[in-house]
Structure 1
Amino acid sequence: MLAESEIVKRLGVLPEWRREGGEIRREVTARDFPTAIRIVDAVAVRAEELDHHPDIDIRWRTVTFSLTTHSAGGLTESDFGLAADIDRIVENIESHA
């Protein structure tokens, strides 16, 4: 589990993410429902590769990703690594939509 100072530092380079208790969250509003599903699908593939899975809530074209490492009881390097991957995925899909 990361120290509070490290969490604050890492959130500083992930401006789309916010902390809520023991997790970090990002909400993405895609241009349409199919784009939202493409984002979720790409994140699912990356999560499987890392064996680190976010909670995902899909509401029409708004997708919320929540990350925490349950086995560690809080936020770890894995959460921030996947958050950065999610940011890249969203940027790539939105720029090609």
Structure 2
Amino acid sequence: MSTAPALSDIEIQRSLGNLPGWARKGDTITKSYHFATFPAGIAFIARVAEVAEVQQHHPDVDIRYTKVTFTLSTHDSGGITVKDFTLAAAIEGLAAR
């Protein structure tokens, strides 16, 4: 499986413009979501896990009670790639449901 090329700074900024709330932190993009209950956050993570598995691209997940933070980076490419934005867009789609 070949690695995706890392995006340029300008490509990253343009792509972030399509994903409200997502921000760049070094060689990652990240966003936090807040839920009414702990189980609701865990259920959301389970839905994201199914999509991530299909995409074969898995986020780092930080759970703090009702706050869930996703951090995306393509480690084997050494930075942010289109794979990260594809998964971020899918996460946004799940959150909109």
TM-score, normalising length from structure 2?
0.92
**Structure 2: tracts of 5 or more residues without a match:** 1-5
Alignment of 1:44 onto 2:49: yes
- What do the CA deviations read for 1:3-57 (whole angstroms, capped 9, x no partner)? 1111000001111101000000000001111110111000001000000000001
- What fraction of aligned residue pairs are identical, expressed as a percent? 43
Amino acid at match of 1:31: A
Give the drift of 1:61.
0.7
User: Which residue of structure 1 lines up, in the alignment, with residue 35 of structure 2?
Assistant: 30
Give the gaps of 5 or more residues in structure 1.
Answer: 93-97
User: How many residues matched?
Assistant: 92
Aligned to 1:73: 78
- TM-score with structure 1 length normalisation? 0.92
CA-CA distance at 1:74 after TM superposition: 0.2
RMSD between aligned alpha carbons? 0.6
Aligned equivalent of 1:64: 69
Structure 1 ranges of 4+ moved more than 4 A:
none
Question: 12, 24, 30: which is aligned to 1:7?
Answer: 12
Which protein is richer in helix relative to its size?
1
